[in-house]
Amino acid sequence: MPDVLVEVCLDSVESAAAAEHGGAQRVELCDNLVEGGTTPSAGMIAATRDAVSLGIMVMIRPRGGDFCYSARELDVMGRDIRAARDRGADGVVFGVLTPDGRVDEDVTSELVELARPMSTTFHRAFDVTRDPLEALDTLILVGVDRILTSGQEASVVDGCDTIRSLQERAAGRIVVMPGCGITPVNVAQIVRETRATEVHVVGTKSVESPMAYRNPRVFMGKEEGASEYVRTVTDAEVVRALVAAASRPQST
């Protein structure tokens, strides 16, 4: 087992199989990655569990946008956590904030309890909290296992100093997992600078649709002018390069 665990963010069974083939140890299974990821269907979770033996973390996010949810949305999240557990997920990924930009301690505690014995990750809602150290302390208090963060910057490359500060304050009480903008070229440096034991990556390639007939007048989801006949999938070779680079011995 490599020293650094590599988790791949993806949105299909095919991509999960590619991530496993590339040597990843875990995946974050999502839908709707163009909005940062929402909850995948029950069928997607079950089919992915049947297809791969690596760890599966399921995104629990009822919609795109902010992380301040209504009572009905929280009810959906609870039901989705149960559905993920029933279909063999190893963990769930969520994030709930208060209107003033703090971790919603009460709701997060309830979701952690509901998810057990699965693992829990607080996703990049962390990156839009008003005080990352306060947020870290709250998440440790309620028993979250892991935080996914870019260090409250657009990319981990710019957030390394904050992530290292979080690691030092966490002192092993919670996993601080860097994610966003990690590539085979920079992952070794990021691991060294942040002292990360886990990293969250996206290793993809573009695939052309097999559709021969294409109606240029109709757009089903993407903005007009963007091709709906090209999709992004996980590339096993990119994942393999990330795993190799992340686990390379680091100088201090």
Q: pLDDT by residue (tens digit) across 74-97?
A: 999 999 999 999 999 999 999 999
* Chain segment 28-69, per-residue pLDDT in tens: 999 999 899 999 999 999 999 999 999 999 999 999 999 999
Q: What angle do CA 80, 82, 83 make, to 5 degrees?
A: 60
Domain 5-246 belongs to what topology?
TIM Barrel (3.20.20)
Q: Is residue 163 exposed (0-12), middle (13-18) or buried (19+ Cβ within 10 Å)?
A: buried
CB neighbour class for 143 (10 Å; exposed up to 12, middle 13-18, buried from 19): middle
**Neighbour-count burial of 195, counting CB atoms closer than 10 A to its CB (0-12 exposed, 13-18 middle, 19+ buried):** middle
Q: What are phi and psi of 175, to 5 degrees?
A: -80, 130
Per-residue pLDDT band for 217 (boundaries 50, 70, 90) equals confident
